[in-house]
A and B are shown apart, each in its own frame.
Chain A
Amino acid sequence: MKWDWNAVSDFMPMFWHGLLVTLEALALGAVLAFVLGLVWAMMQRSEHAAVRWPVMAVTEFVRNTPLLVQLFFLFYVLPEWGLTLSALTTGVIGLGLHYSTYTAEVYRAGIDGVPVGQWEAATALSLPRARTWFAVILPQAIRRVVPALGNYVVAMLKDTPMIFVIGVLEMLGEARQYSAQTFHTVEPITIVGIAFIVISYPASLLLRVLERRLVR
């Protein structure tokens, strides 16, 4: 085994940059997934079948097809349609859209868990629909699904390396670039691999604690 510590220290500046990009993509992707997922979940509760069905079909399709292919689709097809976005933006949209179909299911479980009496009380008080959602139902639903949402953020973290295929220089992208320049492959890939474990292990421990706290 040839391990070159010089290559390690040589790679580190690029690694830190890559880490920053990974975290940026993760944060933005997670926000998008949280918001879009909520929109899907609420639309799936619509009283109009014309709203429910398309949303169900699309989320089902997106969830059951590979993120990698979706990234290629966004990267190659959007410009053909006249929409040119940066690689990072495309990656964030891909991650956020893909994971929104999972968070939608999480929200849905949370919303279903709110007793029907809460909806009835809101009706009895004539609360407007928006107020019912945002003041009564969602505060109760979301509290219980925070740990589950968190677990999807960790899952999304582990999918972020995929966006290197469309040219985003996150950790894996930086590692590949370093390899291409210096022909050192063992060190950068190993470092990036360890970085993922170092980030995701404490994160999942934290979520287990959170789960015990929030989900009674």
Chain B
Amino acid sequence: MSADSSPSKETVNPAVDGSELIRFDKVTKRFGGNTVLDSLDFTVSSGKHVTLIGPSGSGKTTILRLLMTLIKPDEGTIKVGGEYLTHEDRGGSLVPAGEKHVREVRKHIGMVFQQFNLFPNMKVMRNITEAPMHVLGLSRDEAEERARELLDLVDLTEHADKYPTQLSGGQQQRVAIARALAMRPQVLLLDEVTSALDPELVAGVLDVLRDIAHSTDITMLCVTHEMNFARDISDDVLMFDAGRVIESGSPEKIFSEPDHERTRQFLSAVL
């Protein structure tokens, strides 16, 4: 389960064996007095594309932020690739993980943000090579070669020497996707990646993601309001409400014949 650090021709290279890659075990998260996630259990198998849907405030984004260690759970544990994410097993008892451990496990996870969060002081190329060079220890040449492959994938080859502010929102988001993939993560977290885009720019970003979903075996965890996209790429759809998974299943099932009344209400409101 170690990150692949030798450059290969493929863009992403996760271990694909259908085994359990992510496990949430009784995870509770509160903000103030507000319980956003309530003793949540769920698992994601390696190589699966999972979409989280549900009304806003239902805790979907919180799951991604927990996985990215941007926030810490109040209760419960999260495992990624069999390793505890925010805890360490010390002599049989679980203790909060040290920075080093978190860093190690986190390397397997990449994230694309709603607001892109590209580094405005770096050109596109350096945005992508920064982490591979300074985290994975790649040489500049290796990192730039990897970046060029990815820029080709997201169709931005000719923009490598521009600053993010010189690009459209859609282009910036595609750079952000390339930047996340450059770390060869096993899991890619997509947090409402098209919500901040002008409508005409959404398609380009979704096409790139579709491409990645269909041509690679990277595990994807996706929060989106683009139901067609969700239907298109997902293996599983999880319906969230009030911090719990109320229903899950294949996109065909969830979108066509959901069991739950709340799911029906939600879908009729957004579709």
Interface residues of A (CB under 8 A from B): 115, 117-118, 120-121, 123-128, 131, 135-136, 139-140, 143
Complexed CA–CA distance, A135 and B120 (Å): 11
Q: Does B106 contact A (CB under 8 A)?
A: yes
- B:21-49 near A, CB below 8 Å: none
A residues less than 8 Å from B109 (CB atoms):
124
Q: Given A126-B103, A126-B106, A126-B107, A121–B118 Cβ distance below 8 Å?
A: yes
Q: Does B117 contact A (CB under 8 A)?
A: yes
The 9 closest A-B pairs by CB, nearest first: A125-B131, A121-B117, A117-B117, A124-B111, A139-B121, A126-B135, A131-B134, A126-B107, A117-B115
Q: Does B183 contact A (CB under 8 A)?
A: yes
B residues less than 8 Å from A123 (CB atoms):
68-70, 106
Judge whether A135 and B117 touch: CB under 8 Å.
Answer: no
B residues less than 8 Å from A121 (CB atoms):
113, 117-119
Q: Does B184 contact A (CB under 8 A)?
A: no
B residues less than 8 Å from A135 (CB atoms):
119, 122, 130, 134
B residues less than 8 Å from A127 (CB atoms):
130-131, 134-135
Complexed CA–CA distance, A131 and B68 (Å): 18
Q: Can you list 19 A-B contacts with CB-CB less than 8 angstroms, sorted by A residue number?
A: A117-B113, A117-B117, A121-B117, A121-B119, A124-B70, A124-B109, A124-B111, A124-B113, A124-B180, A125-B130, A125-B135, A125-B179, A126-B131, A126-B135, A127-B134, A135-B119, A136-B121, A139-B121, A140-B120
- B:201-255 near A, CB below 8 Å: none
Q: Given A135-B130, A139-B121, A140-B121, A128–B135 Cβ distance below 8 Å?
A: yes
Q: Does B110 contact A (CB under 8 A)?
A: yes
- B:59-105 near A, CB below 8 Å: 68-70, 103
Closest to B112 in A: A124
B residues less than 8 Å from A139 (CB atoms):
121
A residues less than 8 Å from B117 (CB atoms):
115, 117-118, 120-121
A residues less than 8 Å from B68 (CB atoms):
120, 123-124
Q: Given A118-B117, A136-B121, A140-B120, A124–B110 Cβ distance below 8 Å?
A: yes
Complexed CA–CA distance, A143 and B69 (Å): 29
Most-contacted residue by chain B among A117, A125, A128 (CB, 10 A): A125
Complexed CA–CA distance, A128 and B135 (Å): 7
Closest to B131 in A: A125
Complexed CA–CA distance, A121 and B122 (Å): 13
Judge whether B106 and A120 touch: CB under 8 Å.
Answer: no
Closest to A142 in B: B121
CB distance from B215 to the nearest CB of A (A): 23
Closest to B104 in A: A126
Complexed CA–CA distance, A120 and B179 (Å): 14
- What 0/1 pattern do residues 158 to 190 of B give for CB contact below 8 A with A? 000000000000000000000110010000000
B residues less than 8 Å from A140 (CB atoms):
119-121
- B:107-155 near A, CB below 8 Å: 107, 109-111, 113, 115, 117-122, 130-131, 134-135
